[in-house]
Amino acid sequence: MLRRSFLAGAITVLPFAAQATPEALEAAIKEVTGGAPLREGKVTLDIPPLVENGNAVPLTVRVDSPMTADDHVKAIHVFNEKNPQPQVFNAWLSPANGRALVATRIKLADTQKVVAIAETNTGEFWTAHADVIVTLAACIEDIT
Amino acid sequence: MANMLVNAPRTANKGQIVEIKALIMHVMETGFRPGTTGRIIPRNIIEDFTATWNGREIFRMKMSPAIAANPFVSFSAVATESGTIAFRWSGDEGFLAEHQVAITVT
């Protein structure tokens, strides 16, 4: 009995020793918003709903903004729920970009939620999220 | 010197929004994976990417280990004046890579 519970403990702890939790995600979001309210809308998060390989998942964040000096997106932040760290990237924009758009490729270690947050020059925070199913996870082991 | 590939138009009309794509060869080792010896492979990522247009910063990105290997970034910029767009990647283990492209704005 003792041996069994010990083994079960070892198995559950080892592979996911480092994993962001919904709480870590909340904390990471709070770090950029400073507790300001998040509003759904304006942000479009383009990510495939089902990915075969979590090592390179294409992601595009678009924000509906005129990108003028008076009204523009200052930053785009992307977070995830279950990678070892909740942060994915922070990108800083200005009216010089003309369009509030960032595209990149990310790693996903598990089936999880991805959150994008846009920060405007007026201090508003807009958000969008997407659920992604990952069949082959990233960062599990070195297979080379 | 790292291999990189930047895609930006060579010419643009004044006020036009141009799309800029930058790709660089890099392992982006997360620092969370055990290697074949069972030990964790130390983190080795690109942390900062910046793009400047004639010295003025137009885009900056802070990357985390969750960015895929060989980081690809795409963004846009308003063509204001002819000159150079410079890209700079920096990260762990003293990694530094720079690249420039010329653009003519008419």
The ipTM value here is: 0.90
Contact yes or no for A79/A91 (Cβ under 8 A): no
- Kindly list the residues from chain B whose CB atom is less than 8 angstroms away from the CB atom of residue A55: 68-69
Q: Band the pLDDT of A121: cuts 50, 70, 90.
A: very high
SS3 for B69?
coil
* Segments forming the whole domain that contains residue B50: 4-25+45-105
Q: Give the model confidence (pLDDT) of B35-66 as tens digits.
A: 888 888 999 999 999 999 999 999 999 999 99
B19 domain residue, yes or no: yes
Q: Which residues pair with B78 in a beta bridge?
A: B17
B78 domain residue, yes or no: yes
Cβ separation B73–A104 shorter than 8 A: yes
User: Which pLDDT score is estimated for A21?
Assistant: 79
Chain A touched by B63 (CB under 8 Å): yes
B15 domain residue, yes or no: yes
Cβ separation B64–A87 shorter than 8 A: yes
B33 domain residue, yes or no: no
pLDDT of residue A7 exceeding 60, the answer is: no
B31 domain residue, yes or no: no
- Kindly list the residues from chain B whose CB atom is less than 8 angstroms away from the CB atom of residue A112: none
CATH at residue B90 = 2.60.40.10
User: Which pLDDT score is estimated for A11?
Assistant: 42
For A18-136, the fitting CATH number among 3.40.50.10860, 2.60.40.2470, 3.40.50.11890, 3.40.50.300 is 2.60.40.2470
Q: Give the model confidence (pLDDT) of B2-22 as tens digits.
A: 799 999 999 999 999 999 999
pTM of model > 0.90:
no
Q: Which two tokens stand for residue B66?
A: 């969750």
Closest partner CB to B72 (pick from A104, A108, A141): A104
Question: What does the pLDDT average to over A22-45?
Answer: 90
Q: Which two tokens stand for residue A53?
A: 């390989």
Total domains, chain B: 1
Question: Considering only alpha carbons, which residue of chain B is nearest residue A139?
Answer: B33
Closest partner CB to B33 (pick from A87, A94, A139): A139
The count of residues in chain A is 144
Distances in Å between the Cα of A110 and the Cα atoms of A29, A54, A55, A77, A134 are: 20, 8, 10, 20, 6
